Amino acid sequence: MKPVRIGILGLGTVGSGTVNVLSRNGKEIARRAGREIKVVQASARDLKKERACPTKDIKITQDPFAIVNNPEIDVVIELIGGYDLAKELVLKAIENGKHVVTANKALIAVHGNEIFQAAQNKGVMVAFEAAVAGGIPIIKAIREGLSGNSIEWLAGIINGTGNYILTEMRDAGRDFSDVLAEAQKLGYAEADPTFDVEGVDAAHKLTILAAIAFGIPLQFDKAYMEGISKITESDVEYAQAFGYRIKHLGIARRTEQGVELRVHPTLVPERRLIANVDGVMNAVLVKGDAVGPTLYYGAGAGAEPTASAVVADIVDVVRTLTTDPNNRVPHLAFQPDALSDLPILKMEDVETSYYLRMQVIDKPGVMADVTRILSARNISIEAMLQKESAISPKASEKKSGDTASVIILTHRIKEKNMNAAITEIEALATIKGDVMRIRIEQLNKEWD
Ligand code: NDP
Ligand code: HSE
């Protein structure tokens, strides 16, 4: 049988990793797929740049449209990234009747509904396993392995760069920007690294996970997102003092009122497995009604871990080349005409516990003001810690402007009550600067 001919758009970190995995494991992959898989053409911006993979049998072009319009190519692999060009190329490939594999979560989260509709009309596949959690086969696990369950919630560390930064800050006391620069060098970070540190990348991935978990359309614009850029070393230490770790989590949860879709730093009890997922590793906890909690763990970024998922998608596409399009696994797990219109909750209606850190002027009555404000909003305190700044002076030596850090852990309360309380606390003359707020989740079995 003739080999399946592949065209790769983008020969950077993931593109080169994909060529390397296909050439190293080619024979075994062909035994799995039933056909030989051959990369015949690839595109890149800079033809002079040295590539991290063998390219002697690949025709390299600067024009990615030459690939999507090449009648010799059966499957297009989109590894350029970004929204507009990638969308144009993918839609063109689909129009030309080609199957598409992509690692581009931004593309799927924002334009996926339109792309899947176009693919449906043309009877071609668009596979995107590498778009979420790098090498972890989480899309397959939820879409196929858990298809007998009603998924109740999922929570994941789904940005490798962010987790790498938080881990290095905690374990080695390293500076945020140094670690980010290293993650960029290692090929983990997005072309625009603010996507990693401000939660955009994780929100893209969460949008995709929520769609396949709950059978809802992709709704990136309704995701709440907050990054890790405001977390300080002190927050990491204080969280530890209370028995928690700070992890940047994507959480999607079905409630009676609608779907929670939120990405933010979260205090997680340190005894949970997910709290111990460090470095560039990702993990996703999925709770199904039948199976209970399940945990998926692996490398969340990097050339070959991501290539592992890209190649698995290529194998899936090759295996299904002869399958009736109506009998394939649906793009978003649920049949396209059976998606539900469950509302996405506004963040102010979500309920969590909180870690609050504030800088207070160290004088009598300050804490009474803070606790009065919290109690007026029905916010009850679980634990409190006061840390004098630098070396604590004796009471007799205290000056009127001395400040102390106060850390408060609260019980669960709606976000809107907490927002109102924080606004009131920040307005107190005895509070310096903003109140740092990090949400807390226990992520235990009982969280239904
Ligand atoms: P890179 O920046 O390493 O590679 C991008 C490739 O696309 C390069 O070959 C580049 O050419 C080419 N390219 C970029 N812009 C253009 C353009 N405007 N026109 C034509 N070609 C262009 O990115 P990655 O490999 O890291 O990421 C690719 C995709 O995979 C992204 O969607 C990313 O989000 C996703 N992803 C990345 C992971 C990772 O660990 N890196 C993990 C999971 C997903 P040139 O080399 O000449 O500059
Ligand atoms: N920039 C992404 C991350 C790549 O760090 O997780 C993998 O999607």
| DSSP secondary structure, 393-448, as one string | PPGGG--TT-EEEEEEEE--EEHHHHHHHHHHHHTSTTEEEEEEEEEE----TT--
Q: What is the pLDDT of residue 387?
A: 83
Q: What's the gap in Å between 300 CA and the centre of ligand 2?
A: 6
Q: Which atom of ligand 1 is nearest to the CA of 302?
A: 40
pLDDT (tens digit, 9 = 90+) per residue, 219-278?
A: 999 999 999 999 998 999 999 999 999 999 999 999 999 999 999 999 999 999 999 999
According to CATH, what is the number of the domain 138-299? Answer: 3.30.360.10
CATH architecture assignment, domain 4-134+303-335 = 3-Layer(aba) Sandwich (3.40)
The radius of gyration of the chain's CA atoms, rounded to the nearest angstrom, is 24
Q: What is the DSSP letter of 344?
A: B
- Residue of 8, 14, 39, 115 to test ligand 1 pocket, by largest number of atoms within 8 Å of CB: 14
Q: What is the pLDDT of residue 328?
A: 83
Q: Is the CB of 302 under 6 A from ligand 2?
A: no
Q: What's the gap in Å between 14 CA and the centre of ligand 2?
A: 11
Residue given tokens 């614009």 in the structure block: 221
> Can you list the residues of the chain whose pLDDT is less than 50?
390-396
pLDDT (tens digit, 9 = 90+) per residue, 394-444?
A: 444 555 568 899 999 999 999 999 999 999 999 999 999 999 999 999 998
Token digits of residue 163: 């987790």
SS3 for 387?
Answer: strand
Q: Whose CA is nearest to atom 4 of ligand 2?
A: 301
Amino acid at 82: G
- Residue of 19, 45, 53, 164 to test ligand 1 pocket, by largest number of atoms within 8 Å of CB: 45
Token digits of residue 87: 């969308």
Q: What is the pLDDT of residue 395?
A: 47
Give me the residue spans of the domains in the chain.
Answer: 4-134+303-335, 138-299, 350-440
Q: Is 27 tagged catalytic? A: no
Q: Which atom of ligand 2 is nearest to the CA of 158?
A: 6
Q: What is the pLDDT of residue 389?
A: 63
CATH architecture assignment, domain 350-440 = 2-Layer Sandwich (3.30)
d(CA 61, CA 74): 17
Catalytic residue among 87, 98, 105, 205: 205
Q: What is the pLDDT of residue 401?
A: 66
